[in-house]
Amino acid sequence: MTPSPLRIAVLASGGGSNLQALIDHLTTLGPECGIEIALVVSDREGAGALARARSHGIPALWVPRTAVEGALANALREARVDLIVLAGYLRLIPNDVLDEWPGRVINIHPSLLPAFGGAGMYGSRVHEAVLARGARVTGATVHFVNAHFDEGPIIAQATVPVHVGDTVDTLAARVLEIEHRLYPPTIVAVARGELRLGDDGCVIGAPSRPSLD
C-alpha cells in the first residue's frame, strides 16, 4: 500500500516567495516524493502568500494575531500536518503548537544566525545591520523553532558575499535567492526525518544534508 503523503503547513506573513520555491520544488520532485502542502496560514488577511496558495489550489487560512492562541493549533490539527514551516511568519509560535509538534517546526532567517537575529530583526532591518556592521559574508539559516525568535538549533546554512557598493536591496535579493535554493531541499529532508532534532537538542542527520549543487 502506498503510504499517505507527509503533510506540511506553511506559515507566512508576506509575499510568500519561499512558499513559491517550495511549491516549485515539490512540483519538480513529483507526487512520488510523498510530500504535500496541506495548508497555508497567515496572520495577515491580505498576505500574498494566501493568494499564492489559493492560486495553486492549496487551502489558505487567515488566523488573525489576536486569535492565534488555540486557533492555530486547531487548524494545524484539523489539517493533520506533520511539519510546520515558517516562511516569513512574523509572530512567535504559541507554546501549544510547539508542545504538540516537538521538533517539527522550522524557520528560515535571512542571516547567518546567531548573528543579526532576534526580536525586531526581520526584512530589510537584517540587511541594514549587516551592511552597517561591515560584515563581508551573510546568508540564510534554517533552524528549529523554539519559544524565542531565531534561537533554535541550526539545521542548515548557506552563505553569500557582501560586495562593496551593495545596498539593502541588492543584498536582500542575493540572500533571498540563496534562501530559495536552501529551504526547499532542507524542508524535504526534515519532513522525511533525514534531518531531525535529537533528544539532546542537537540536529541529527548531517550526512544527508542537502547539497546546493
52 touches ligand GRF (CB under 6 A): no
- CA dihedral (112, 113, 115, 121) positive or negative: positive
The single-letter code of the amino acid at 125 is R
Binding-site member from 52, 104, 109, 174 for ligand GRF (CB under 6 A): 109
Closest residue by Cα to residue 172 from 212, 127, 207: 127
Question: Between residues 15 and 193, which has the closer beta carbon with respect to ligand GRF?
Answer: 15
Q: Which strand (E) or helix (H) includes residue 187?
A: helix 168-191
Site string for ligand GRF, 149-178 (x = CB under 6 A): ---------------------------x--
Question: Between residues 16 and 185, which has the closer beta carbon with respect to ligand GRF?
Answer: 16
- Cell 510546520 belongs to 84
Binding-site member from 35, 41, 106, 108 for ligand GRF (CB under 6 A): 108
179 touches ligand GRF (CB under 6 A): yes
Which segment (2-10, 76-84, 106-114, 188-196) binds ligand GRF by CB under 6 A?
106-114
Secondary structure of residue 45 in the 3-state scheme: coil
Q: How far apart are CA 26 and CA 157, in angstroms?
A: 21
Q: How far apart are CA 19 and CA 88, in angstroms?
A: 9
**Strand 60-62, strand 35-42: pairing:** parallel
User: Which residues form the catalytic set?
Assistant: 109
18 touches ligand GRF (CB under 6 A): yes
186 touches ligand GRF (CB under 6 A): no
Binding residues for ligand GRF, rule: CB under 6 A, are 12, 14-18, 87-88, 108-110, 176, 179
